[in-house]
């Protein structure tokens, strides 16, 4: 556990961490990271929310998880513990390591997210929900970006150099965006802007650990960690500000 905490500190100061492709002790290390995530998140939630409770301040709840409670447990698990982590890992951590497919996937998922916010028309097959159209446009955008980077080696090389040069800002921005995304899912009627610095603490910590896992072991392991964490959130709702 000491090594993990030390490497987290190094990552914060440098934006880089030594990657591991093969490790016989990987399951054990991932378990330690998982337990550290739950422990750190619990402490962060305690620090952030207990003083508010003691001061009789209304604590905003996670509107996304509340909306899922109207559905069956199976539906909640699929959406909250599988689809949400996949979407968030692509949105916030896929781009931490530069490659043509990573950048294309990163931009594609954000294109889909923005289209869902802006497009209120019909789908590709005339349905009232525009999801199919938004997905189609996002896949076209993703393929276009990948094709552009594949054909223009100079642009690709410059972007790769830029990513390596500014790895620390890229990492810190990903953590901040991840945290703001989760604060934005809290109930707006109870969200006091003065509380935002406090509310950011739990998702900043989880974003740091997820990002560390992604950089050190790969995105599939940060995804597994995120899925495992959200499973805990289903049964420990006080942690849901992070999910």
CB 205 within 8 A of CB 44: yes
pLDDT, position 243? 47
Three-point CA angle 127, 130, 133, nearest 5°:
100
For 59-94, the pLDDT digits (tens) are: 666 777 777 778 888 888 888 889 999 999 999 999
pLDDT of 21 above 90: no
CA angle 187, 88, 74 (to 5 degrees): 75
**Residue 119 is inside which H or E element, if any?**
none
**191-212 confidence digits (pLDDT tens):** 666 777 778 888 899 999 999 9
- Structural contact between residues 63 and 186, judged by C-beta atoms closer than 8 angstroms: yes
Cα–Cα distance measured from residue 51 to residue 30, given in angstroms and rounded to the nearest whole number: 32
Mean pLDDT of the chain: 84
Kindly report the CA angle at 47 between 42 and 49, in degrees rounded to 5?
90
Q: How many whole angstroms separate alpha carbon 10 and alpha carbon 187?
A: 35
Average pLDDT, stretch 125-152? Answer: 87
| Full-model pTM | 0.86
- Enumerate the β-bridge partners of residue 169: none
How confident is the model at residue 44, as a pLDDT? 83
Tokens matching residue 61: 């709840």
Residue 172 predicted with pLDDT over 80: yes
Task: Determine the pLDDT at residue 188.
Answer: 66
């Amino acid at each position: 556990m000491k090594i993990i905490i030390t490497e987290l500190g190094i990552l914060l100061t440098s934006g880089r961490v030594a990657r591991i492709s093969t490790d016989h002790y990987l399951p054990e290390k991932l378990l330690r990271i998982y337990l550290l995530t739950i422990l750190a998140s619990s402490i962060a939630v305690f620090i952030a929310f207990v003083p508010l409770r003691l001061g009789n301040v209304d604590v905003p709840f996670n509107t996304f998880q509340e909306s899922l409670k109207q559905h069956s447990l199976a539906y909640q698990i699929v959406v909250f513990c599988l689809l949400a982590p996949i979407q968030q890992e692509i949105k916030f951590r896929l781009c931490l390591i530069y490659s043509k497919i990573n950048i294309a996937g990163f931009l594609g998922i954000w294109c889909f997210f923005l289209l869902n916010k802006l497009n209120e028309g019909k789908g590709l097959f005339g349905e009232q929900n525009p999801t199919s159209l938004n997905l189609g446009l996002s896949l076209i955008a993703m393929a276009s970006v990948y094709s552009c980077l594949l054909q223009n080696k100079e642009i690709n090389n410059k972007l790769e150099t830029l990513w390596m040069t500014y790895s620390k800002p890229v990492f810190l921005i990903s953590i901040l965006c991840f945290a703001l995304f989760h604060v934005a899912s809290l109930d707006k009627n109870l969200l006091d802007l003065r509380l935002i610095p406090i509310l950011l603490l739990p998702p900043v910590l989880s974003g740091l650990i997820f990002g560390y896992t992604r950089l050190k072991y790969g995105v599939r392991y940060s995804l597994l960690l995120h899925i495992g964490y959200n499973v805990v959130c289903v049964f420990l709702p006080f942690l849901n500000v992070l999910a």
